[in-house]
Amino acid sequence: MPKTEYWQWYVEESAPTEQHHHAIDHVYYAGRSEFQQVSVISTPVFGKMLILDGDTQSSQNDEKIYHETLVHPAMAGARDRRDVLILGGGEGATLREVLRHPDVTRCTMVDIDGLVVELSKQYLPEWSDGAFDDPRARVIVGDALAFMREDRDRYGVIISDLTEPLEDSPSNILFNNDVFGLIKSRLADDGIYVLQASTTAFHNLSLHCKMARTLRRHYRYVASFSHLVPAFDTEWAFLACSDTVDLAALDPAAVDAYCGKLAGENFFYDGQTHRRLFSLPLYLRRALAASGPVFS
């Protein structure tokens, strides 16, 4: 069989000296929104991919690992799942996962970039899988920080599915001590706040630890969990924060009972996966316990 020649490559840098090269089959969109550089491409291994400011956001073939992990541990542990808030979440897959639970009566998603939402509807409909048309979905195009300053509701679960807080990213304003306090004020007393929280690869875990240290000022329980997301080419991490629920201690049988109530089938998450997600390697436990920088 002759080897296919690829002439276009998407190169993601995880460090100035580390790169992952993806051959490109097709470019659906490449341009700039008011807020960020946006590309939608397809690659032979990962299928369609959304890329913002040079960072992979999700890929068709493994997005369920990321989105089930972001959503379901928090929803499984939540005392009240009726009203859920998503900060960011452009592709609509976080919304899709939340709406799979029959307890949910309203899920509000606030994403700053209408172009990302529209391109996701047009080119990545598998991600939202009809969630944007669900009558329980309230989709707002706007800044999540401005929304939380205006909004007076309190939510049982708040999910932060924002881009990495890089200096010139529109998500940067949502990562500081005051905003972590604001988010808590929008959470019910027994609610759970979960966020995508960067990588915990051994060479690059300072941002994750900084988020965890800062959030420990606000919550009794701050649990770190992670798994490899192949399209990101690294271990991807999350933080679950609550004053009443320690997700690391959730019983796998309770997780399986929760999963049994979801519409459709899970790809990745169940009680056994939950145990694996929250079993952290020694180097990470040490890094999380050490003192270090916090967000001011």
Interface ranges with ligand SAM (CB under 6 A): 57-58, 66, 87-91, 110-113, 116, 143-145, 161-164, 170-171, 174, 196
Report whether 199 contacts 227 (CB < 8 A).
Answer: no
Between 54 and 293, name the residue whose CB sits nearer to ligand SAM.
54
Task: Please name which of 197, 201, 263 lies closest in space to residue 235, comparing C-alpha atoms.
Answer: 201
Q: Smallest gap, in angstroms, from Cβ of residue 1 to ligand SAM?
A: 35
State how far the Cα of 94 lies from the Cα of 67, in Å rounded to an integer.
6
Q: Smallest gap, in angstroms, from Cβ of residue 148 to ligand SAM?
A: 10
Between 165 and 245, name the residue whose CB sits nearer to ligand SAM.
165
Between 10 and 66, name the residue whose CB sits nearer to ligand SAM.
66
Strand partners, 99: none
Q: Smallest gap, in angstroms, from Cβ of residue 58 to ligand SAM?
A: 5
Report whether 6 contacts 23 (CB < 8 A).
Answer: yes
Q: Smallest gap, in angstroms, from Cβ of residue 92 to ligand SAM?
A: 9
Task: Please name which of 8, 32, 62 lies closest in space to residue 232, comparing C-alpha atoms.
Answer: 62
| 161 is a catalytic site residue | yes
Task: Please name which of 66, 73, 94 lies closest in space to residue 228, comparing C-alpha atoms.
Answer: 66
Between 86 and 250, name the residue whose CB sits nearer to ligand SAM.
86
Give residue number: closest CB to ligand SAM. Answer: 90
State how far the Cα of 163 lies from the Cα of 279, in Å rounded to an integer.
25
- Catalytic residue chosen out of the listed positions 161, 189, 243, 270: 161
Q: Which residues are catalytic?
A: 161
